[in-house]
Every structure is written in structure tokens, then in C-alpha cells.
Amino acid sequence: MKFLRFGERGSEKPGVLDADGRVRDLSGMVDDLSGDVLTRLSSLGVTAESLPLVDGEPRIGACVAGTGKFICIGLNYSDHAAESGLPVPPEPVIFMKATSAICGPNDPIIIPRNSKKTDWEVELGVVIGKPAKYVSEAEALDHVAGYCVINDVSEREFQTERAGQWTKGKSCDNFGQMGPLLVTPDEISDPQKLGMWLDVNGQRRQDGSSSTMVYSVAHIISYLSQFFTLHPGDVISTGTPPGVGMGMKPQQFLKAGDVVELGIQGLGTQRQDVIADE
């Protein structure tokens, strides 16, 4: 099924997208798309058409709540590593993105103060549905609640040109657009065969496929679970294909007034206005 969350920021309700693309209210069955609800999504017995229809066009929030860890995988596409001038890593590169960066799929990208190089990254997101600790690659996908679109917005100067780790270039407010949909694994036959794209001001910048990942979703889940337990609601952003602003010649970065649109096959689309922080 295609789950989502709707309503004003901080007051979102759980919902389901019906066959006609309309939002249905799930709040009479579950409090939110978080915690143990994610563990039992497949057993909820939801029939979208039996749920109340939501009027109008509500704001869509991040497709999962209560995220404890927002884990990102760097340089997971060999052609993106090449455009970054970096070697393909011998093991997955792991970094954390602050959960405070999470926002709705159509919420604006906010360019932080003193930013010179705010960039875009379309990524396949994986939401954990049941605890994963020391799981094998063969078992890994059994721990997935669903998949989603993520824009891993990045400030490259903060990330790579200042001392310390990548986190501060990845965690600014509204640097983690997530959703619109949390699509359950039964609707995604193979997470390694999904087309993905991103446009800036109507011009295609990224046009790739999850098939070119260096490390597969199953490998990443198994790998991470060797170091720490993955809990329901944890989100893994699995890397981006080539076409980011940092890799262009000359480099191009976002500015206030730009419009970013992106999507992944079967998972929906996002649209963001770019604004400057005050």
C-alpha cells in the first residue's frame, strides 16, 4: 500500500492513498506511522476505500514519524564518486543526518545563513519496520516497512571545506525532504530497479537508477546491523546518482527563487521552492 502523513507540521495524521490518488484518513485505526505501527503495517487489514476521504489538498508531511536515526550512505554510486573526484569506497560510507532536518516532500529548501554551495541529491529512502541486529543480507529486506523519496540536500562548503565531519553540511533545517509516500515492499518487486530523477528550474540534472548502486539495499541493512540495532522508524538514505551541482563544470548551486522537482519510480514526486533563511 501507499501510506502518507498529512496536515500541518507537527500535527500530521496518518493516511493512505487510494486507487484514485485521493488521501484517506487512517487516524481512526492508528495514531501515526511510527514505532510498532510500522512493524505491523502489512497486517493492518486496511482497505483504502473504506476510510474517510480527506477534503481538499492538505499539506503532505514526512512519510514516517518518530525517526530515531537518519542514516546516510555516501558515494554509493560509482559515477557519482567519479564526479566527486573520489574513489569507490571499499565499504559503505556512513554518516548521520540530524532528524531535525526532516520535513515534508514539498516543504521549501531553506538555504542557511552563510551558505555558498547548497546542493541537491535525489535518493532512495528505506524505512525500517522491525528491529534489525546482526541480520544477514538474505534476511535484510524482511526488516523493511517501506520505501520513499528523499532529497538529501547538502551544503558542500560546510560538508567538505571546513574541518570536521560531513554532518554539519547535511543537517541544516529542511535539508531532509521525505515522502510523499511510504510504499510497502509488496508494491516494489525489486528496490534495485527503480528509475530516479531530479530537475532544477525545469532542467534535468539527475537521471539515474538504483540498479547502479555500489552496495544494494539488502547489503546496506545487513552491514549497518553489524554495528548497531536498526529500530522501527529509522531511515536509511542510500546515496545519489550523478548530476549534483558540485559535480558540474562549472559547479552550480541552488539560490533563492529556484524550484527543485524530483521523483523515484513507484514512490511519487516532490517539489520544493528554494528560499533563503532569515
Do you know the residue count of the chain? 278
Does 250 reside within a domain?
Answer: yes
pTM for the model stands at: 0.96
Average pLDDT, 10 consecutive residues per value, the chain (278 residues): 97 96 96 96 87 96 98 89 82 96 98 97 98 98 98 95 88 98 96 98 97 96 98 98 94 98 98 95
* 3-state SS, residue 115: coil
Work out how many domains the chain is built from and give that number: 1
Does 15 reside within a domain?
Answer: no
Q: What is the DSSP string of 198-241?
A: EEETTEEEEEEEGGGBSS-HHHHHHHHHTTS-B-TT-EEE----
Query: In the predicted model, what is the mean pLDDT of the chain?
Result: 95
| 3-state secondary structure string across 44-86 | CCCCHHHCCECCCCCCECCCCCCCCCEEEEECCEHHHHHHCCC
Measured torsion, CA atoms of residues 10, 16, 19, 20, in degrees rounded to the nearest 10 = -30
Q: Are strands 70-74 and 235-237 parallel, antiparallel or unpaired?
A: parallel
Does 178 reside within a domain?
Answer: yes
Does 191 reside within a domain?
Answer: yes
Contacts of 155 (CB under 8 A, 6+ apart): 112, 115, 117, 118, 119, 169, 170, 172, 175
Residue-level pLDDT at 250:
95
Residue-level pLDDT at 84:
76
pLDDT in tens, 132-164: 999 999 999 999 999 999 999 999 999 988 887
**What is the number of helices (H) and of strands (E) in the chain?**
6, 18
Does 235 reside within a domain?
Answer: yes
* 3-state SS, residue 145: strand
Any idea what the CATH number is for the domain that residue 236 is in?
3.90.850.10
Does 48 reside within a domain?
Answer: no
Closest to 254 measured CA to CA, from 71, 112, 95, 60: 112
Bond from prior residue into 87 cis (ω within 30 degrees of 0)? no
Does 110 reside within a domain?
Answer: yes
CB atoms under 10 Å from CB of 185, counted, come to: 17
Does 269 reside within a domain?
Answer: yes
State the Cα angle at 125 between 241 and 178, rounded to 5°.
105
pLDDT in tens, 112-122: 999 999 999 99
Residue 119: give the domain boundaries. 61-276
Residue-level pLDDT at 85:
80
Q: What is the DSSP string of 150-175?
A: EEE-EEHHHHHSSSS-THHHH-STT-
